[in-house]
Amino acid sequence: MKIKVTVKSTPEKKRVPLQITTENIRLDAALKFSSAVSTGGQAKMVILDGLVKVNGETCLSRGKKLKEGDFFEFERVVYEVIK
């Protein structure tokens, strides 16, 4: 009896730089600024629903301040904050 094993590869996550001119940016504002969502209300909902990761961990705080070098992920797209 032969056992067939198939390995499915997961698609790579798209990486997008998000350039800011300030010292930091709030997570909800970063979602809007990056065009990941259209409105602040949408940003609030996706954050509170646990759909956004910051530096690899789910973040439920829309006021989380992101600085240069931080990254957030939403819908398989990783946004890296740069200055």
The tens digit of pLDDT for each residue in 29-58 reads 999 999 999 999 999 999 999 999 999 999
* Contacts of 38 by beta carbon, 8 Å cutoff, 6+ apart: 32
For the chain, which domains are there?
Answer: 20-82 (3.10.290.10)
pLDDT score for 7: 60
Q: How far is CA 83 from the centre of its chain?
A: 17
28: pLDDT strictly greater than 90: yes
- pTM of the entire structure? 0.84
Distance CA 32, CA 73 (A): 13
Return the higher-pLDDT residue of 6 and 57: 57
Task: Name which of 1-5, 24-28, 45-49, 63-67 the model is least confident about.
Answer: 1-5
**DSSP string covering 55-76:** TTEE---TTPEEETT-EEEETT
Q: What is the pLDDT of residue 68?
A: 96
